[in-house]
Amino acid sequence: MKVVLLAALGLFLGTLGGAALGIGAGLAFVEIAQTTNFEGQNGMLVFFTFMPLGAAIGGISGAVLFGLLAMRDDAIALEREPAAPGDR
């Protein structure tokens, strides 16, 4: 259950981060390629091409990364161990 929940969290966070990076990459591409801005073509290119691609790639990679981290219990401590009676 922990793996599924962390994979869903990774999907959500990866989608948000990937969409933001996609917008940044799209804006950089528009400036470097000097595409025409007739009737908002630059905005449509960025928000209908680069943002969905970035969101898809980021979502998949975030879900895979968080899922792999959750499966490795020894590498990341997700649950605290109960304190021993004499450790206070």
The model carries a pTM of 0.74
Residues 6+ apart with CB under 8 A from 70: 2, 3, 6, 7, 76, 78
Q: Residue ranges of the domains in the chain?
A: 17-71
Range with the poorest average pLDDT among 2-6, 26-30, 45-49: 2-6
The pair of structure tokens assigned to 56 is 């898809």
Encode pLDDT of 58-77 as tens digits.
Answer: 999 999 998 888 887 655 55
Residue among 78, 67, 75 nearest 6 (CA):
67
Give the relative orientation of helices 51-71 and 2-33 as an angle to the nearest 10 degrees: 150
Q: Which has the higher per-residue pLDDT, 83 or 21?
A: 21
pLDDT of residue 13: 94
What single DSSP character describes residue 86?
Answer: T
